[in-house]
Amino acid sequence: MIEIIEDLQVAKNTILRRSQKPTDYPDHVLSGVERIFGDDVSPENAVARILSDVRENGDVALRLWSERIDGIVPDPFQVSRNDLSLGVELISAETRQAIKFALDRVHTFHSLQPVSDWQTKELGGIMGQRMIPLKRVGIYVPSGTASLPSSLIMAAIPAKVAGVQEIIVCTPPGKEGNQVASEILAAAHMLGIKKVYQLGGAQAIAAMAYGTETVPRVDKIVGPGNIFVTLAKQQVFGQVGIDGLFGPTETVIVADDAANPEWVAADLLAQAEHDVLASAILITPSLQLAQSVKVVISEKIIALKRNKIVQQSLTNRGGIVIVPDVESAVSIADEYAPEHLCLYLNDADKWSNSVQNAGCLFIGKYSCEVMVDYVAGPNHILPTGGTARFASTLNVLDFIKIMSVVTLDQKTSDLLIEPAAKIALAELLDAHALAALERKR
């Protein structure tokens, strides 16, 4: 069960310390690799082997690895357009309406992001930058015990707002070769996506990165996935763009005695529900709140469908940290740089400007994470593992390349010749200097 930690140093040495190394893989990952590749192959090498095979052998390799890893070979890989449209009919009217609601709000939010060409004459001539949408983007949509249409919505909408010409989707097939989940197909159809492939894992990333007879090569791959997807994205980066390397999800809640313990407990449980490696942490100066939250969690966890996952997550990665005051709580949370940071404080607005490091900042008791997960508007694909110190939420600019444009007139060119030549000569690049000096009148 979730533990209350009253010694701050203990908390910093345990739940607030990201000590997991890239090679510290869960047992089920290592056993899966051993089953398929043998006991002398690391997950990194297993992924490299899959990538190389798909690059060299295309669809043949996709079929091989789909059968060996997933136990099935979807035939064909691509979902028919008829099945895409059928997905809308197979989901309930309530789900369909909710997806439409989410699509509208997320689209509106991303449409408001300032993105535009610009130019200036202040430096002489005309110079500026052009914002050019990527031509083709691949989205990976994870699927396991549940379908995740929200991940597709969050990845696809900023791409569409940016003006990406073509979006393709790869998502694991259903169990026993069943079709992709209807919710994902419905969301794809409602987004106007025409190419969905029943492919999962590293082989899906390879197909999008290199292209095969069936799957077109993309310019960038986005979307979260399991460790094999993450390793594959890491290894294909440079040959194709990626959005980021996403680790286990994490939430830090900073709350004082004005917070509702029922709400805080519910938010911690929701985070822990994702995965046994998820981190759900409460930082508070109120021991009374901490004790109340712990009681509520113990009462509510029993009824949850994924209670075993929640239990393991809270026991191994979650916790409640007692600190001297709110200032300490906010400072510690900001240093931790979590994916999600929730300020459930009586004066949350006052403290919000103190936060510099978080994937998404939630200010006030009504601003709970689950709303952004689905329908609020901002993106839920966020930097994890402390990378919020330098990385950003998925946004429209992730789907745009910026090209500088230079138009120099003769007067400006004359002004630049000597300084350019002098720097070139200082760098021992006399041909560069010559290219400038040749234009001297």
CB 214 within 8 A of CB 59: yes
3-class SS letters over the chain: CCCEECCHHHHHHCCCCCCCCCCCCCHHHHHHHHHHHCCCCCHHHHHHHHHHHHHHHCHHHHHHHHHHHHCCCCCCCECCHHHHHHHHHHCCHHHHHHHHHHHHHHHHHHHCCCCCCEEECCCCCEEEEEEEECCEEEEECCECCCECHHHHHHHHHHHHHHCCCEEEEEECCCHHHCCCCHHHHHHHHHHCCCEEEECCHHHHHHHHHHCCCCCCCCCEEECCCCHHHHHHHHHHECCEEECCCCCCCEEEEEECCCCCHHHHHHHHHHHHCCCCCCEEEEEECCHHHHHHHHHHHHHHHHHCCCHHHHHHHHHHCCEEEECCCHHHHHHHHHHHCCCEEEEECCCHHHHHCCCCCCCEEEECCCCCHHHHHHCCCCCCCCCCCCHHHCCCCCCHHHHEEEEEEEECCHHHHHHHHHHHHHHHHHCCCHHHHHHHHCCCC
| Identified catalytic residue from 273, 339, 369, 380 | 339
Residue 275 has φ and ψ, to the nearest 5°, of -165, 155
| 28 a catalytic residue | no
- Helices 287-300 and 261-272 sit at what angle, rounded to 10 degrees? 60
Of 237, 280, 245, nearest in space to 391 by CA: 245
Farthest-apart Cα atoms in the chain, separation: 84
Residue of 273, 340, 369, 380 marked active site? 340
Residue 145 CB coordination number (10 Å) = 8
Residue 438 catalytic? Answer: no
Quick check: 297 and 269 in contact, CB under 8 A? Answer: yes
Catalytic residues: 339-340
